[in-house]
Amino acid sequence: MRKMRTYTIVVEPEDGGGYYVTVPALPGCFTRGGTVEECKQRAIEAIEVHIAGLKADGEAVPDEAGAPQLVAVTVAA
């Protein structure tokens, strides 16, 4: 049986519509979707493929150390 892992995904709206998804615990793992629900499904697929690639390359599969936090800062622009 495969180990179950939970990863936080970040879903950001894109200017032209749809969403861009990243997985902070897995640098380089990303996808896109038209709806948030589609993004969640595509993220699962992207994470599975990313993990398979890490394993094939003999690299460790990272666990999420802690859920990322969204923190707003104000800057002069």
Q: What is the 3-state secondary structure (H, E, C) of 40-58?
A: HHHHHHHHHHHHHHHHHCC
User: pTM above the 0.85 mark?
Assistant: yes
| Number of Cβ within a 10 Å radius of residue 70 | 5
**Which pLDDT score is estimated for 75?**
97
Task: Give the pLDDT band (50/70/90) at residue 3.
Answer: confident
Decide if domain 1-77 falls under CATH 2.60.40.10.
no
Q: Are 20 and 32 in contact (CB under 8 A)?
A: yes
* 16 residue type, one letter: G
Segments making up each domain of the chain, as ranges: 1-77
Q: Please write the tens of the pLDDT for every residue from 11-42.
A: 999 999 999 999 999 999 999 999 999 999 99
pLDDT above 90 covers a percentage of the chain that reads 88
